[in-house]
Amino acid sequence: MLNELCNLNGISGREHAVRDYIISHLPSDAEYRIDPLGSLIVYKKGKAEPKNKVMLDAHMDEVGFIITYITDDGYLKFTTVGGIDERVIFGRAVKVGKELIPGVIGGKAIHQTTSEERGKLPSVEDMYIDIGASSKKEALSHVSLGDAVYFDSCYREFGDGFIKAKAIDDRVGCEILLRLINSDLPYSATFCFSVQEEIGTRGAAAAAYSVAPDFAIVVEGTTAADISGVPDEKKVCRLGGGAVVSFMDRGTVYDSELYKKAFEIAEKNGIGCQTKTVVAGGNNASAIHKAAGGIKTLAVSVPCRYIHSGSSVAKKEDIEDALANLRTPIQYNDNKLRVQCFGSFEVFYNNKPVNFDRSKTKELFAYLIDRRGAAATTGELCGILWDEKSADESSKHYLRNLIASLKKSLKVCDAEDVFICKRNYFAVNSEKIECDYYKYLERDAAAVNSYKGEYMAQYSWAEMTLAELEKNR
């Protein structure tokens, strides 16, 4: 399938051949539509309905060229479509227009260049495409201004599981999504085969607003520089190292919990997985994560050498690792209690405030949250809640009522295991809670930015923790 996909031609805005191929390989139970920009949006029902809508994205377009002018002697001037290193252009064989006329990208011969010119790469403006025409009239009989130009390159397998082809970015993502659609999905999902990624992630931006998912996973090829002469820290990622899960690139800071869970899945299932050692590149996530009020987004990529050229190189085992990682759904627990400590203390479940019968019940929970899993005794809790040096029978009785009230509130949220209650031993299971204070201590960027100098503002006993936060700010 990847062989056929890579050999198809489809620069940005000309993706129809790729889209038609994908449609022809959809199972009968898949529902699809084509949006006004040309992106293909597919819905596939799974064994169960997820609590949150999930979208997986791969882009159909590839880098290439477009004809801008034809000279009197029949040569074609052009510009790039997408980011292409000028070093990989000169001398390349190409196919031009609807008829796929063969041509060669050329320029001034080396023996005709000046000494100054020989020290520089020729720019795109100085190059042309030679299709063997002897005049403008002859050239116009085969091509027109605005015609697409594609690298003339065939899919090849070589070495120990290596693949050479054009358009691996992102036909490899298209292949992975197609294989998922044609499998038994554990959960229903929406798949977006987007257009115009290479010229500004335009198709994904429109599709994300239309689909409005809760979570999105971008599947793509990403740059690898694991070649001779490149220091280890600048190799970005390595072929044979498994699927690439990024924490950040030039367009996106990825959701930290999704990032961690992707690696957990890989480790648990023996799937090859790596991250980038350089903040580089970008993809449709840059548009998706900002759409529709904000979408939690992750990228799962296949490492690719010589990306955006006519001869990109990938490895089969990395493709299988990426697919395996995606086959195991990320269990993002949106039902986890979310605790807000910065500002006033608040507790949320399913993004709705948790109801506490009594204000002291809420304060009891707040104090245990503040302790981050460390246990408190009956006497300590009575001292905090009622400013008593020792607990008498009356305060102990009241505390037992508060404990019962707290258990009731947590039971409604299906979060009874958050509260640890033993004889004279009370604590929270901090691993069961999503808390801005806890994330701050882990130096999570979003949590750090959310702290504005206030901590559990309604409780005087919280001032000690506030002082520590300010000290280490």
Confidence at residue 131, expressed as pLDDT on a 0 to 100 scale: 96
**Quick check: is 158 in a domain?**
no
**Quick check: is 271 in a domain?**
yes
Radius of gyration of the chain (CA): 29
197 and 319 in a single domain? The answer is yes
**Quick check: is 295 in a domain?**
yes
217 and 256 in a single domain? The answer is yes
Confidence at residue 104, expressed as pLDDT on a 0 to 100 scale: 96
- Residue by residue, DSSP assigns 346-366 as EEEETTEEPP-SSHHHHHHHH
**Catalytic residue (choose from 15, 175, 197, 198):** 197
Domain count, the chain: 3
**Quick check: is 53 in a domain?**
yes
400 and 264 in a single domain? The answer is no
Please say which residue of 297, 327, 357 terminates a domain.
327
142 and 204 in a single domain? The answer is no
Query: Residue 342's domain is classified under what CATH number?
Result: 1.10.10.10
Q: 142 in helix, strand or coil?
A: coil
**Quick check: is 159 in a domain?**
no
133 and 257 in a single domain? The answer is no
91 and 126 in a single domain? The answer is yes
20 and 109 in a single domain? The answer is no
Regions in the chain scoring below 50 on pLDDT: 332
87 and 51 in a single domain? The answer is no
318 and 356 in a single domain? The answer is no
Distance from C-alpha of 368 to C-alpha of 18, rounded to nearest angstrom: 56
Please say which residue of 303, 327, 351 terminates a domain.
327
Q: How many CA atoms does the CB half-sphere of 71 hold within 13 Å?
A: 15
133 and 236 in a single domain? The answer is no
For residue 104, list its beta bridge partners. 93, 130
Q: Alpha helices of 230-376 — where are they, by DSSP H?
A: 256-269, 285-288, 316-327, 359-370
Confidence at residue 110, expressed as pLDDT on a 0 to 100 scale: 66
346 and 216 in a single domain? The answer is no
pTM for this model (two decimals): 0.70
Query: Residue 129's domain is classified under what CATH number?
Result: 2.40.30.40
Please say which residue of 292, 327, 362 terminates a domain.
327
**Quick check: is 193 in a domain?**
yes
End-to-end CA distance of the chain: 53
Confidence at residue 450, expressed as pLDDT on a 0 to 100 scale: 80
**Quick check: is 285 in a domain?**
yes
Structure tokens at 209: 């607003």
Q: What are phi and psi of 305, to 5 degrees?
A: -80, 150
Confidence at residue 431, expressed as pLDDT on a 0 to 100 scale: 86
Query: Has 468 been annotated as catalytic?
Result: no
Query: Residue 232's domain is classified under what CATH number?
Result: 3.40.630.10
**Quick check: is 157 in a domain?**
no
Q: 422 in helix, strand or coil?
A: strand
Confidence at residue 389, expressed as pLDDT on a 0 to 100 scale: 57
- Residue by residue, DSSP assigns 331-345 as ---TTSEEEE-BSS-
203 and 272 in a single domain? The answer is yes
- Domain hosting residue 15, numbered range: 2-61+166-327
